[in-house]
Amino acid sequence: MGLSEILIILLIAVLAIVIPTVVLSVTRLVMRGIRLRQEQMIEEHRRVPCPFCKERIHPDALVCPYCKRDLPQIIDGA
């Protein structure tokens, strides 16, 4: 067995380890991106329109981050 055959076998062995590792890493990154996007969509769905400029804002905001107006606080009667 010559040097070129040994190098080819070594290359195949290394690739057998590297390729699944890269695929697993890429899969994890893609899944993390999907999870983050789902969380962003849920958060966006929770937002309410500002009574002044109508931009969607967090329901607990005290000041609209877009028009900078103080938001009226609804006092819970319960």
Residue 74 pLDDT class (50, 70, 90 cuts): low
For position 45, what pLDDT does the model report? 82
Q: What is the spatial distance between Cα 61 and Cα 50, in angstroms, rounded to a whole number?
A: 9
For position 19, what pLDDT does the model report? 95
Instruction: With beta carbons less than 8 A apart as the criterion, state whether 38 and 58 touch.
Output: no
Domain layout of the chain by residue ranges:
14-73
Q: What does each C-alpha distance from 34 to 40, 41, 44 come to in angstroms? A: 10, 11, 15
Q: What is the spatial distance between Cα 27 and Cα 38, in angstroms, rounded to a whole number?
A: 17
For position 34, what pLDDT does the model report? 95
Indicate whether 77 pLDDT > 50. no
Chain segment 23-65, per-residue pLDDT in tens: 999 999 999 999 999 998 888 888 999 999 999 999 999 999 9
